[in-house]
Amino acid sequence: MLKIRNVTAYEMCKETGLAQSRVSEILNGKRRITSETAAVLAQFFKTPVAFWVELQADYDLEWKDPNGIERREITSAPLTLGKYKFHAAVLDNEVAVVTTASFLDFFGITKGAYATGERLANIIESDNLNSKWFRDLRHAVSNPVKYINSNNCLSNGYEGTLIVDYCKGLLEARRTKEFSPNSQGARYAQQAELLVESLAKVGITALIYEATGYETKKRRDALQRLFDAYFRDAYARWTKRFPDDFYTGIMRLKHWSWDSPVWKRPPVFGKITKDIVYQRLEPGVLDKLEDINPVLDGGRRAVKHHQWLSDEVGQPDLDRHLFAVTKMMDGFQEWESYYHLINLTFPKKGSAEQLLLGDYDSRFMK
């Protein structure tokens, strides 16, 4: 569009009042076109505002992770810092994030056309705040981490370390008198100061918990409460729990031929079951089952693992998981693709052992 008008980015900035740093970052794909910027561009280029808004929307829809990986949330929970509440999540690459919406809400930026990270970037945009650190910070808050949340919807978040960096940026801008008294920037800096204080207090508390072993005790007590609900005091009479479709689905995806009855399956099925079922139930469940239902001298267990699960919690949890992993098989023709989705949808929570299922194939009929 600049070439069509035969103008430079500098000339456009001079005529429109847009900051050169903002335009430069947009041109380099490091910043989004907000509805506010779209209105300015539309006036300058004599186009509808919708043209620029839709252009940005198309780019967002086509966005892909730089490594071609679609990040997924593996766990999430509310995060309370003093009187402030955020929504936090951990992604499948172990990155801890706070949702963009909850961080914006902390600064009083409510939902709407302007409720984007671009608002945060604009606050720390100034010719005096143009060091590489500030440029990188503006780029980061304008481009939150995209991931699929537990509801299978696209979500945005900021890494926990970025939250601290942004607060530091606001406080530095206030220190260098970039914000006039009672300005929006000054109010944001005041909020940032409160958040930094809360983080410091939480950090000290966490260190005390760690030093005294209190955090370990809390986890141990929570695990015991889970076990009390999840397991029986004595194993139950055997009943069929795993549907035939579960095993025939594995054979189809593995391209295995097996003419004998399903119940005469070889030991490899036990390893696969351990991998895609028991290791993906609640944390610690598999280790507990291995402890109370060990392998005996003859190489077999006294009963099946599922016979130790309680009717109230353990069995229903197993049934839900079995139904999901079995139905997911219907959408695949190859084991590798299916197993990849299993890892994304149900990350391992049990034993730390990593099973190389590909190695089983060559030994299957031996």
One DSSP character per residue, 1-23 reads -HHHHT--HHHHHHHH---HHHH
Mean pLDDT lowest among 49-53, 185-189, 191-195, 355-359: 355-359
Edge-to-edge order in the sheet of strand 73-81? 73-81, 84-91, 96-99, 154-159, 145-148
Mean pLDDT lowest among 38-47, 209-218, 258-267, 290-299: 258-267
Q: At what angle do helices 132-142 and 20-27 cross, to 10 degrees?
A: 60
Residues 234 and 179 in one domain: no
Query: Are the C-beta atoms of residues 170 and 189 closer than 8 Å to each other?
Result: yes
Query: Are the C-beta atoms of residues 321 and 281 closer than 8 Å to each other?
Result: yes
Q: What CATH number is given to the structural domain containing 7?
A: 1.10.260.40
Average pLDDT over every residue of 186-211 = 80
Residues 95 and 125 in one domain: yes
Residues 127 and 206 in one domain: yes
Domain assignment of residue 9, yes or no: yes
Domain assignment of residue 223, yes or no: no
Domain assignment of residue 108, yes or no: yes
Q: Which residue, chain included where needed, has tokens 């004599």?
A: 46
Q: Which residue, chain included where needed, has tokens 């949340």?
A: 149
Q: Residue 283 has which token pair?
A: 């944390």
Per the structure, the count of domains in the chain is 3
Binning pLDDT at 50, 70 and 90, where does residue 31 land? confident
Last residue of a domain, one of 212, 243, 258: 212
CA distances to 45, 166, 222, 250, 276 from 328, rounded to whole Å, are 50, 42, 31, 11, 12
Domain assignment of residue 218, yes or no: no
Q: Is residue 252 scored above 60 in pLDDT?
A: yes
Binning pLDDT at 50, 70 and 90, where does residue 365 land? very low
Q: Which residue, chain included where needed, has tokens 């005091």?
A: 233
Written as one letter, the residue type at 256 is W
> Could you tell me where the beta strands, DSSP code E, fall in the chain?
73-81, 84-91, 96-99, 145-148, 154-159
Domain assignment of residue 68, yes or no: no
Q: Is residue 346 scored above 80 in pLDDT?
A: yes
Residues 155 and 246 in one domain: no
Residue span of the structural domain in which 291 resides:
230-363
Last residue of a domain, one of 165, 185, 212: 212
Residues 156 and 188 in one domain: yes
Residues 155 and 261 in one domain: no
Long-range contacts of 171-175 (CB under 8 A, 24+ apart): 171/196, 172/129, 173/123, 173/124, 173/126, 173/129
Residues 159 and 259 in one domain: no
Q: pLDDT: is 301 or 34 the higher one?
A: 301
SS3 342: helix
Polymer length of the chain: 366
CA distances to 28, 31, 141, 201 from 25, rounded to whole Å, are 5, 5, 12, 36
Percent of the chain with pLDDT over 90: 16
Nearest to 252 by CA among 316, 338, 324: 338
User: Using the 8-state DSSP alphabet, how is residue 88 labeled?
Assistant: E
Last residue of a domain, one of 152, 182, 212: 212
Q: What count of other Cβ atoms lies within 10 Å of the Cβ of residue 88?
A: 17
Domain assignment of residue 222, yes or no: no
Task: Name residue 321's beta-bridge partners.
Answer: none
Query: Model confidence over 89-129: pLDDT tens digits?
Result: 888 777 888 999 889 888 888 655 445 778 888 888 887 88
Domain assignment of residue 224, yes or no: no
pLDDT of residue 262: 55
Domain assignment of residue 221, yes or no: no
Residues 41 and 90 in one domain: no
Residues 206 and 318 in one domain: no
Binning pLDDT at 50, 70 and 90, where does residue 250 land? very high
pLDDT of residue 158: 92
Residues 206 and 235 in one domain: no
Q: What is the dihedral angle through the alpha carbons of 95, 100, 101, 105, rounded to the nearest 10 degrees?
A: 110
Residues 78 and 207 in one domain: yes
Residues 295 and 197 in one domain: no
